[in-house]
A = this chain, B = another copy of it.
Amino acid sequence: MSEFISIGTRFAPLPSPFPFKRGGSLLDGRVAFETWGQLNDKGSNALLILTGLSPSAHAASNADNPDRGWWEAMVGPGKAVDSDDWFIICVNTLGSCKGSSGPASINPESGQPYRLGFPDLSVEDCARAAKAVLNHLHIDTLACVIGNSMGGMVALSFLQQYPLYARSHINVSGSAQALPFSIAIRSLQREAIRLDPAWNNGLYTEGSYPRNGMRIARKLGVVTYRSAMEWDGRFGRVRLINDDHASEKFGPEFEVERYLEAHAERFVDQFDPNCYLYLSRAMDWFDFCLSCAKGSTDVVESLAGINIGSVLVLGAETDILFPLHQQQQIAAGLSQGGARVSFEALDSHQGHDAFLVDIEKFAPPIRRFLDERKAEL
């Protein structure tokens, strides 16, 4: 049961109590964040980054923490999200274990970790928690909200809950509602963790930790984050050089198996299993239609209720987890609502994770879009 908090992480308090959409509330909660660049005199250049399921607030190296961040190639001085132009704030999602309050945090009422006593988490709660950071920093207006993957869901909820607060939006490989294939994958990841005897209904310890469940969950994640096409070219049928199959029947034998193994090994001890379950379920529950006042069950029509100036929507053609037609829906809905929308379906082989790794394809449209916004400052 651990939180993973890197140096340089800053914290904003949540209103106390902080009520959750599905019931329950937090006392003395907090949200972790980091920043890059400076707020200008007009206070008009603030830019918010909302992350996927697992990243911390450390999007890139900065003065407080020189380590490489999860979006190092995209964020910083001279990068597409340029800290010479923007005051950039990245928030660790509520419910995570990277500094924001979550199931791995200490419940001040009991002095023990919340574990499954943490309230049911919704994407809408994550959006309100991000707003608490902006209030803490006295940000009155956002030049842009960028949301990737799960962060794309949080961003849509943010725009809906705080109309006219943000002037533009970049939605990257996002979705306005979870669809059954993605729900099935995430359900299976959660089941692998829950079926691990060491999970013990959330009461695991360091000595008895659901490593096996986390391994399966992470590997299944990696399989769906990338694309078959990328792997055909990258791994083909290449065998491991030290083929230890003789010693371990059914053990890893192909390069692609070692790749999954390396990903699992890096992840299992670096993310809290209960936090994983909460964040995963929050994505399944998200349906923009239900969070907007219009009462429509049509995604495009519901999104048209959002009032925002300029929007860039990006997706990868090989994404199987948040497929391209979901980004098309976002573009169509925000456009119908009156926004000037640019939509780009990027011909990237790297699937859902493309925005993290195929910077060559994703950086130019983001830079172009933000340069246009700079001219409006």
How many copies of this chain does the complex contain? 2
Q: A212-B195, A215-B191 are in contact. Are A183 and B254 (CB under 8 A)?
A: yes
A281 contacts partner chain B, Cβ-Cβ < 8 Å: yes
Q: Which of A230-262 touch B at CB < 8 Å?
A: 231-232, 234-237, 249-250, 252-257, 260
Residues of the B chain whose Cβ atoms lie less than 8 Å from the Cβ of A212: 195
B197, A197: Cβ atoms under 8 Å? yes
Residues of the B chain whose Cβ atoms lie less than 8 Å from the Cβ of A190: 250
A194 contacts partner chain B, Cβ-Cβ < 8 Å: yes
Q: In whole angstroms, what is the CA distance A260 to B255 when docked?
A: 30
Q: A212-B195, A223-B185 are in contact. Are A179 and B250 (CB under 8 A)?
A: no
A237, B180: Cβ atoms under 8 Å? yes
Residues of the B chain whose Cβ atoms lie less than 8 Å from the Cβ of A249: 116
A308 → chain B closest CB, angstroms: 25
Residues of the B chain whose Cβ atoms lie less than 8 Å from the Cβ of A234: 180
A181 contacts partner chain B, Cβ-Cβ < 8 Å: yes
Residues of the B chain whose Cβ atoms lie less than 8 Å from the Cβ of A116: 249
A-B interface, 8 closest residue pairs, ranked by CB to CB distance from nearest: A181-B228, A180-B256, A180-B231, A180-B235, A195-B212, A187-B257, A184-B223, A184-B256
New A-B contacts (20) at CB < 8 Å, excluding given A180-B231, A181-B228, A191-B219: A179-B228, A179-B236, A180-B254, A181-B223, A181-B232, A182-B228, A183-B256, A184-B223, A184-B256, A184-B257, A185-B223, A188-B220, A188-B223, A191-B215, A192-B192, A192-B216, A195-B215, A237-B287, A250-B281, A254-B284
* 12 sampled A-B residue pairs with Cβ under 8 A: A180-B231, A180-B232, A180-B234, A183-B237, A184-B231, A187-B257, A187-B260, A188-B260, A191-B216, A195-B212, A220-B220, A237-B287
